[in-house]
Amino acid sequence: MKRKTRTLLALAISAQMLFSLTACGSKKTDSTGINGNANGNAVSNSDSGSSSSNSGSRIVSESDPYYNVTTSSLQANVAHDKEIQMSNIVSHYIVGDRILAEVFVNYVMPEEILKEQMDLDLYDETQMARYDEISDEYEDSSLQMFDLDGKFLTEIELEKGAVFTGAFPGKDGEILLVTNKVNPKDCKSSPAVTIYSSSGEKLRDIALQVDDDLMDVRLYVLDNGNMLVASIGKFWILDGEGKVLSEESNPELNGMVLHSGGKWFAVMPDYSSYDSSIYVQEIDTDSGKLTDRPFKCSESVLYARQGEQDCFLLNANGIDKFDIETQTKTQVLAWKDTDVNSSTLNLMGARIASENDMIFFQFDAIGDGGRGSMDLKSEGASLVSVVHLSKADKNPHAGKTRLRLGINEKINGTFLEQVLTYNKDPQNTARIEVIDYTADAMDSGDSDEVENALLESTNQLVMDMLSGNGPDILVGYSELSQFNSDTMLVDLNSLIDSDGSFNRDEYYDNILRSFETDGKLYTIPLTYTLEGMAVNTSFNGAKENWTFAEFDQMASSLSPDVQPIASQSPDELLKLWMKSLSSHFIDVTNKTVDFESEEFRTLLETVKKYGKGNDTDYDWELAMDTGYVLNDASLFRKNMVASTYISISDLETYASLSKEGAGHTVAFSGVPSLSGMGMSAKGQLSMAITASCSSPDLAWDFIRSFLSEDAQHQLSFNTDTLPINKNAYKKNCQIEIEVNQKFLERLKGKAGQVAPEVLETAVEISQSHIDSFEKLISGISASQSWDSDVMNIILEESAGFFAGQRSIDDVCGIIQNRATLVVQER
């Protein structure tokens, strides 16, 4: 961790030299932002959100690349005489000019039919047959064929028990349909290949003459008409009639095979140690053998999707062609050059042949209110569309001013949809180009590598901003206090106060004020959550806004079977509490820190005393029987812990936490501190305008579009966060009450089928909850923000104190010195 901090310090110092170097005529390096993915193996030639991608004119030119978008929905064939309860298009493949998709539909059962099915004795063979008969009548799974405009053509009948696994182009427009039939007794699968015409007519079967029992089989059609069949630990080369030409065994094979740069490669993960690695090895399709030696590959390969000739990676900035042999990524499409919601696109089964032949599938979930956390409380459906992208002759947005928007990993579909709405409005004179600085960081599955890559992406953003090549608008960086200065960001209060259409009374102005630094609003929280503690005041000494001393007094009075807080290690607890307390120790404006204060010393002593490993005695038998796990919230409700850290994101969460019972009365508090404090606001979707932005008024106009009642409702409700617009809050709450009533009615109707624990935790949301929650919101006066570099120093140095190896004086002194150096050298 020391190395990371020194690296950032060196970056900050070198940034001060950058202007003089470029002024002297030094040749600039064409940086590509985050070089490679999180593990550093894959080198990126793509536009990752770096200074190189920001070069050029601020005005959009007709010659700038742009891709037209054509979207059409898959018009699935469903029963029109029944009401759909839930539908889903599970898998989909493009083969030539046809789409094959597996469609699942669940229809609403009449009450009398539902009651009949629920009353059947499933141990009786006859009644079990009737149960299956009813299920088959109201559930349907079918393989359907569509044209590229989404029009339904025909349904393909599969053999009973066969599972559709893929489709591939054959000769003269024929379609090779691959299915698996699984024997439930031994979990072995038998693959089958059937040839269909483009009209959906079955032509013939191909018998795969493989003697082995196959598991997780995948089939690929080679250029010469032969087939490559891959399974776990083995692969075969078959001719067009299914005859085995060769076979190869290797225990490291996982069944994944990819075509890249004219060659086929087998993926071979090595999970023999904690530090797992991914290897690939070339396949000679003529001999059917592995060639040369396996070589280590970026984890990106696990996320790659096979195109017609090459494999591709989809990330938040665009689509990269991934060359497995050279381990390089080359961007073939940047999302900023088109108007499509990239977060809803899926590469599975898509077709990327050239820049003028890109077809993707787009997903949209349809439910009651549309919010993810409520899907289990309402019916829903998935809408799948076919999206065609083709390069335009000229850019239709020519003449607009480019505004670059830099984001971190907190991107979501609702946010992107609002950006698209703004960009497509001809009345707006700016064109927003979204650049995710963390796109490559998400390639790795290793949490440490992701954390390191996120740190490097923040370093890259700082360097771009200091050099004048950074974004105009920042999204999602409100938590990082090191950005809160006139050098980095614009004071938004000046723009708000000069905007005659902005009425502070329409918003929770106290939330806006809580994000100020010395009276300046550097970042505006469009959505947020409330962070702090839920406290069971039935225990002696438990109270809201408690001090360290009061917390310690309460904890000391508890019986042995009650914990003061949910189990967390000292470093986890310190990091959690520091997010609310950071401003007590760091003065961003004056570049000073105070880590030798009484409050910081008491903080370290408290988390050392009460932080511990997760050794809670969970009732796993109960969890297995009911599917109900005793998490922190449930332990709190059952009076097994006196307090728990919480994040309140909506009315439902507040009402659930507020529910009182025997020996359980609830108050909401901030984390313990020297003098006591209330809960804090945490910015979820936040925006800021950088000091280098040449058009701050245009940037504010864009941010302003996210503050309307409708935009605030969509942004918050669809992402389980709170809006700052008061009317949007009220709208969210009314919908939550309506959905809550439907949920309770459904629970009552299924009382005998639902675990008692679910019934116990259910709460009826009322107007009183709306009013008391709004009172809590209106009382917020602090927000969470912290210096990520200083936080790393604190966590690194405090580890010795928690382990009993160093004194608190020693630790606090070193933290003070190191943090002072980092803060003052910025």
Spatial distance between the Cα atoms of 35 and 46, rounded to a whole number of angstroms: 9
Residue listed under structure tokens 């993810």: 372
| DSSP string over 167-195 | EEE-GGG-EEEEEEEEETTTTEEEEEEEE
3-state secondary structure of 701: helix
> pLDDT of 748-760, one tens digit each?
777 666 677 777 7
Whether 249 and 234 have beta carbons less than 8 Å apart is answered as yes
Record the tokens describing residue 795, joined without a space: 């966590």
> pLDDT of 413-445, one tens digit each?
889 999 999 999 999 999 999 999 887 665 555
Q: Give the pLDDT mean for 328-345.
A: 92
Cα maximum dimension of the chain:
89
Torsion of CA 502, 505, 508, 514, to 10 degrees: 80
Least confident of 28-32, 135-139, 773-777: 28-32
Record the tokens describing residue 640, joined without a space: 């097994």
Q: Give the pLDDT mean for 173-184.
A: 83
Q: Is the pLDDT of residue 22 over 80?
A: no
Q: Is the pLDDT of residue 130 over 90?
A: yes
Record the tokens describing residue 729, joined without a space: 């809050």
Whether 131 and 122 have beta carbons less than 8 Å apart is answered as yes
| Beta bridge partners of residue 480, listed in sequence order | 786
* In 361-412, alpha helices (H): none
Is the pTM higher than 0.85? The answer reads: no
Least confident of 236-250, 423-437, 453-467: 453-467
**Would you say the C-alpha torsion 513, 518, 524, 525 has a positive or negative sign?**
negative
Q: Give the pLDDT mean for 115-125.
A: 90
- Dihedrals phi, psi of 266, to nearest 5 degrees: -100, 135
Residue type, 137: E
- Half-sphere exposure for 360 (CA within 13 Å, toward CB): 25
pLDDT for the residue 220: 85
3-state secondary structure of 789: helix
pLDDT for the residue 179: 87
Q: Is 585 buried (19+), middle (13-18) or exposed (0-12) by CB count in 10 A?
A: buried
Record the tokens describing residue 431, joined without a space: 């064109």
3-state secondary structure of 86: strand
Percent of the chain with pLDDT over 90: 58
Neighbours of 816 (CB within 10 A): 19
3-state secondary structure of 556: helix
- 133-157 burial, b for 16+ CB within 10 Å, e for fewer? eeeeebebebbbbbebebebeeebe
**SS3 letters across 463-524:** HHHHCCCCCCEEECCCCEHHHCCCCCECCHHHHHHCCCCCCHHHECHHHHHHCCECCECCCE
Spatial distance between the Cα atoms of 790 and 592, rounded to a whole number of angstroms: 12
Least confident of 373-387, 430-444, 448-462, 589-603: 373-387
Spatial distance between the Cα atoms of 109 and 592, rounded to a whole number of angstroms: 67
Q: Which span out of 27-31, 180-184, 818-822 was modeled with the highest average pLDDT? A: 818-822
> Which domains are present in the chain?
32-65+401-527+685-729 (3.40.190.10), 66-155+353-393 (no CATH), 529-683+783-824 (3.40.190.10)
pLDDT for the residue 154: 97
- CA 589 to chain centroid: 33
Q: Give the pLDDT mean for 529-542.
A: 91
**SS3 letters across 647-682:** EECCHHHHHHHHCCECCECEEEECCCECCCCCCEEE
Nearest C-alpha neighbor of 553 from the set 606, 513, 476: 606
Spatial distance between the Cα atoms of 375 and 658, rounded to a whole number of angstroms: 23
Q: Chain-wide mean pLDDT for the chain? A: 85
3-state secondary structure of 197: coil
Spatial distance between the Cα atoms of 683 and 527, rounded to a whole number of angstroms: 6
Alpha-carbon separation of residue 88 from 14, 71, 384 (angstroms):
53, 19, 9
Based on DSSP, count helices (H) and strands (E) in the chain, helices before strands. Answer: 20, 38
Nearest C-alpha neighbor of 96 from the set 198, 166, 193: 198
> pLDDT of 321-332, one tens digit each?
999 999 999 999
Work out the pLDDT band at 53, boundaries 50, 70, 90.
very low
Work out the pLDDT band at 580, boundaries 50, 70, 90.
very high
pLDDT for the residue 6: 36
pLDDT for the residue 270: 87
Whether 430 and 702 have beta carbons less than 8 Å apart is answered as yes
Contacts of 715 (CB under 8 A, 6+ apart): 414, 415, 418, 526, 527, 685, 706, 721, 723
Percent of the chain with pLDDT over 70: 84
Whether 36 and 42 have beta carbons less than 8 Å apart is answered as yes
> pLDDT of 640-651, one tens digit each?
999 999 999 999
| DSSP string over 396-465 | TTTTPEEEEEEE-TT--HHHHHHHHHHHH-TT--EEEEEEETTTGGGG---HHHHHHHHHHHHHHHHHHH
Contacts of 614 (CB under 8 A, 6+ apart): 567, 568, 569
Torsion of CA 752, 757, 760, 764, to 10 degrees: -80
Contacts of 20 (CB under 8 A, 6+ apart): none
- Dihedrals phi, psi of 453, to nearest 5 degrees: -70, -35
Q: Is the pLDDT of residue 12 over 60?
A: no
Q: Is the pLDDT of residue 628 over 70?
A: no
Q: Give the pLDDT mean for 497-510.
A: 97
Record the tokens describing residue 358, joined without a space: 């890109």
Record the tokens describing residue 413, joined without a space: 């579909």
Q: Is 56 buried (19+), middle (13-18) or exposed (0-12) by CB count in 10 A?
A: exposed
Alpha-carbon separation of residue 112 from 81, 109, 117, 128, 134 (angstroms):
17, 8, 9, 18, 12
3-state secondary structure of 807: coil
Spatial distance between the Cα atoms of 573 and 684, rounded to a whole number of angstroms: 21
Helical (H) or strand (E) element with 229: strand 227-231
> pLDDT of 269-284, one tens digit each?
987 766 678 999 999 9
Q: Is the pLDDT of residue 721 over 70?
A: yes
Work out the pLDDT band at 40, boundaries 50, 70, 90.
very low
Least confident of 81-90, 289-298, 480-489, 782-791: 81-90
Q: Give the pLDDT mean for 504-512.
A: 98
Q: Give the pLDDT mean for 558-575.
A: 92
Spatial distance between the Cα atoms of 3 and 818, rounded to a whole number of angstroms: 12
Spatial distance between the Cα atoms of 65 and 56, rounded to a whole number of angstroms: 13
Work out the pLDDT band at 100, boundaries 50, 70, 90.
very high
Spatial distance between the Cα atoms of 645 and 633, rounded to a whole number of angstroms: 9
